[in-house]
């Protein structure tokens, strides 16, 4: 396949060559020889057969100006048309070259975009598979994550992973009670109230898609509900049983306690995910899956 640079050069040389040919024909028309027999108005004698040039149209005998006939006029029109064609070619050639270059650049950009999109899709699929590895038997999402507006991309990826692996999140009842209490304790419009309502909306969305269970659920929120001690206790208990655990949290104090518990008791591979370090990865996953949806 010729390069864009070489293609542009070839087009330029072809257009230039055609222009030169047209100009040459035009100037040939300007000096075209016509054999004519007619009476010269100055010599007032019989016409003579001579070479008559369309440029000056003079009698071959007396060199005076004779009467111009139709054939000579035709030569003059041919000259004018050829000159116009030459001028048009000169004017049109750069525009044509420019359009060809723009077309090639557009085609090249489209190919590059398809390649980039394909790479983004492949990367998204690979990263989602790695995300799915976090869907362990015991998976805990800290209450702060549910209530944080910066983690929409995380929950969107969690939804994709749960659907892909037919997985259900187990949310501790004490976590739900804790968020419900925050919502009730704060006035509408306060930051903590908004975050608690956001968490409850997210939980409901997952519940509607049958991707989440609340265990156990109570008829009303328990006063003073606080989830962190329960999370640490569950991690300790389940890790002793040899069950693989995963904790998503942006709370450093909770992560320190959980990490120590897992180090002391865990008999299986467990993970503590510092979620704030993966936001870029979550966004890349979503971008790749949006591209796939657009191309379907």
- Segment 46-74, tens digit of pLDDT: 444 443 433 455 666 666 555 444 444 44
- Name the more confident of 73 and 254: 254
**Which pLDDT score, from 0 to 100, does residue 87 have?**
65
Q: Indicate the DSSP class of residue 221.
A: P
**Which pLDDT score, from 0 to 100, does residue 109 have?**
87
Q: Is residue 124 part of a domain?
A: no
Residue 40 contacts residue 47 (beta carbons within 8 Å): yes
Q: Is residue 278 part of a domain?
A: yes
- Name the more confident of 63 and 45: 63
Residue 38 contacts residue 67 (beta carbons within 8 Å): yes
Residue 135 contacts residue 162 (beta carbons within 8 Å): yes
pLDDT at 224 over 60: yes
What does the pLDDT average to over 160-179?
94
Q: Is residue 121 part of a domain?
A: no
Query: What band does 16 get if pLDDT is binned at 50, 70 and 90?
Result: low
**Which pLDDT score, from 0 to 100, does residue 265 have?**
82
Q: Is residue 20 part of a domain?
A: yes
Q: Dump strand ranges (E) for the chain.
A: 33-36, 50-53, 138-141, 169-172, 212-215, 245-249, 271-274
Query: What band does 222 get if pLDDT is binned at 50, 70 and 90?
Result: low
Q: What gap in Å lies between CA 216 and CA 213, rounded to an integer? A: 9
Query: Do residues 16 and 142 share a domain?
Result: no
The pTM (predicted TM-score) of the whole model is 0.66
Q: Is residue 123 part of a domain?
A: no
pLDDT at 129 over 90: yes
Query: Do residues 158 and 195 share a domain?
Result: yes
Residue 53 belongs to domain spanning: 4-112
What does the pLDDT average to over 219-241?
82
Query: Do residues 288 and 203 share a domain?
Result: yes
Query: What band does 40 get if pLDDT is binned at 50, 70 and 90?
Result: low
Query: Do residues 272 and 147 share a domain?
Result: yes
**Which pLDDT score, from 0 to 100, does residue 78 have?**
59
Count of the separate structural domains present in the chain: 2
Q: Is residue 150 part of a domain?
A: yes
Query: What band does 4 get if pLDDT is binned at 50, 70 and 90?
Result: very low
Candidate from 72-86, 190-204, 246-260 with smallest mean pLDDT = 72-86
> What's 281's domain CATH number?
3.40.50.1010
Half-sphere exposure of residue 59: CA atoms within 13 angstroms, side-chain side: 18
Q: Supply 59's token pair.
A: 């009698």
Query: Do residues 143 and 283 share a domain?
Result: yes
Q: Is residue 122 part of a domain?
A: no
Q: Is residue 118 part of a domain?
A: no
Query: What band does 18 get if pLDDT is binned at 50, 70 and 90?
Result: low
- Name the more confident of 239 and 74: 239
Helix or strand or coil: residue 270?
coil
């Amino acid at each position: 396949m010729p390069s864009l640079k070489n293609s542009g050069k070839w087009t330029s040389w072809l257009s230039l060559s055609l222009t030169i040919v047209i100009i040459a024909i035009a100037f040939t028309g300007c000096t075209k020889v016509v054999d004519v027999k007619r009476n010269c108005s100055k010599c007032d004698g019989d016409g003579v057969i001579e070479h008559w040039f369309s440029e000056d149209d003079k009698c071959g005998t007396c060199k005076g100006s004779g009467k111009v006939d139709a054939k000579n006029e035709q030569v003059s029109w041919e000259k004018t048309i050829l000159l116009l064609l030459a001028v048009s070619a000169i004017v049109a050639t750069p525009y044509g070259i420019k359009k060809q270059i723009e077309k090639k650049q557009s085609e090249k950009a489209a190919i590059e975009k398809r390649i980039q999109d394909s790479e983004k899709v492949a990367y998204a699929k690979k990263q989602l598979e790695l995300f799915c590895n976090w869907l362990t038997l015991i998976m805990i999402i800290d209450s702060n994550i549910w209530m944080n507006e910066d983690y929409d991309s995380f929950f969107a990826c969690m939804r994709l992973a749960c659907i892909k692996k037919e997985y259900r999140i187990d949310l501790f009842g004490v976590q739900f009670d804790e968020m419900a209490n925050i919502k009730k304790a704060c006035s509408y419009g306060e930051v903590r109230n908004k975050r608690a309502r956001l968490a409850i909306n997210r939980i409901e969305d997952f519940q509607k898609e049958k991707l989440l269970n609340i265990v156990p659920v109570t008829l009303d929120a328990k006063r003073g509900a606080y989830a962190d001690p329960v999370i640490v206790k569950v991690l300790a208990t389940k890790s002793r049983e040899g069950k693989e655990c995963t904790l998503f949290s942006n709370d450093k104090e909770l992560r320190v306690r959980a990490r120590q518990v897992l180090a002391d008791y865990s008999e299986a591979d467990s993970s503590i995910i510092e979620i704030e370090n993966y936001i870029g990865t979550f966004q890349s996953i979503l971008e790749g899956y949006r591209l796939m949806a657009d191309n379907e």
